[in-house]
Amino acid sequence: MPNRSPDRARVKSRAALLRAGFEQAGAALVEAPVLVSAEALLDLYGEDLRARAYTTFDALRGEQMLRPDFTVPVVQMHMEGGAEPARYTYAGEVFRRQEEDEARSNEYIQVGFEIFDGSDPEAADAEVFARLQHAVSPLGLKATTGDIGILMAAVEGLNTTEARKRALRRHLWRPARFKQLLDRFAGRTPQPAGRAALLAQADPFACAGPEIGLRARAEVEARLEALRADAAAAPIPETEVELLEAILKVRETLPYALEQLRDIAVDLRPISGAVERLARRAETLAARGVDVDALEFEAAYGRTHMEYYDGFVFGFVVEHRPDLPAVASGGRYDALTRELGRAAGKPEGIPAVGGILRPGLMVELEDGLWA
What crossing angle do the helices spanning 121-136 and 8-24 adopt, rounded to 10°? 150
> For residues 78 and 352, what is the distance between their CA atoms, to the nearest angstrom?
11
Give the one residue of 100, 162, 319, 348 binding another protein; rule: CB under 8 A: 100
Give the one residue of 47, 58, 162, 348 binding another protein; rule: CB under 8 A: 47
Nearest to another protein of 277, 338 (CB atom): 338
**Binding-residue total with another protein (CB under 8 A):** 39
Nearest to another protein of 227, 265 (CB atom): 227
Least distance in angstroms from the C-beta of 136 to another protein: 31
Piece of the chain touching another protein by CB under 8 A; list 75-83, 210-218, 246-254, 263-271: 210-218
> For residues 185 and 241, what is the distance between their CA atoms, to the nearest angstrom?
10
Per-residue exposure over 218-233, b if at least 16 CB sit within 10 Å of its own CB, e if not: eeeeeeeeebeebeee
104 binds another protein (CB under 8 A): no
DSSP assignment of 146-187 equals: EEHHHHHHHHHTSSS-HHHHHHHHHTTT-HHHHHHHHHHHTT
Binding mask 178-207 for another protein (x = CB under 8 A): --x-----------x-x---x-----xx-x
Nearest to another protein of 12, 174 (CB atom): 174
Give the one residue of 20, 139, 220, 248 binding another protein; rule: CB under 8 A: 220
Nearest to another protein of 99, 319 (CB atom): 99
CA-closest candidate to residue 182, choices 247, 110, 276: 247
Nearest to another protein of 58, 319 (CB atom): 58
Give the one residue of 134, 217, 249, 269 binding another protein; rule: CB under 8 A: 217
Residues 149-168 that bind another protein (CB under 8 A): 167
50 binds another protein (CB under 8 A): yes
Give the one residue of 223, 249, 269, 321 binding another protein; rule: CB under 8 A: 223
219 binds another protein (CB under 8 A): yes
Are 236 and 160 in contact, with CB atoms under 8 Å apart? Answer: yes
SS3 347: coil
Piece of the chain touching another protein by CB under 8 A; list 79-87, 145-153, 216-224, 266-274: 216-224
CA-closest candidate to residue 264, choices 278, 279, 250, 277: 250
Nearest to another protein of 18, 227 (CB atom): 227
48 binds another protein (CB under 8 A): yes
Give the one residue of 17, 29, 222, 287 binding another protein; rule: CB under 8 A: 222
> For residues 122 and 256, what is the distance between their CA atoms, to the nearest angstrom?
19
Between the alpha carbon of residue 338 and those of residues 56, 284, 342, 344, the distances in Å are 27, 26, 6, 10
Are 309 and 302 in contact, with CB atoms under 8 Å apart? Answer: yes
140 binds another protein (CB under 8 A): no
- Beta bridge partners, 55, equal 65
Are 110 and 135 in contact, with CB atoms under 8 Å apart? Answer: no
59 binds another protein (CB under 8 A): no
> For residues 71 and 36, what is the distance between their CA atoms, to the nearest angstrom?
12
Give the footprint of another protein on this chain (CB under 8 A).
42-43, 46-48, 50-51, 99-100, 102, 167, 170-171, 174, 176-177, 180, 192, 194, 198, 204-205, 207-215, 217, 219-220, 222-224, 226-227
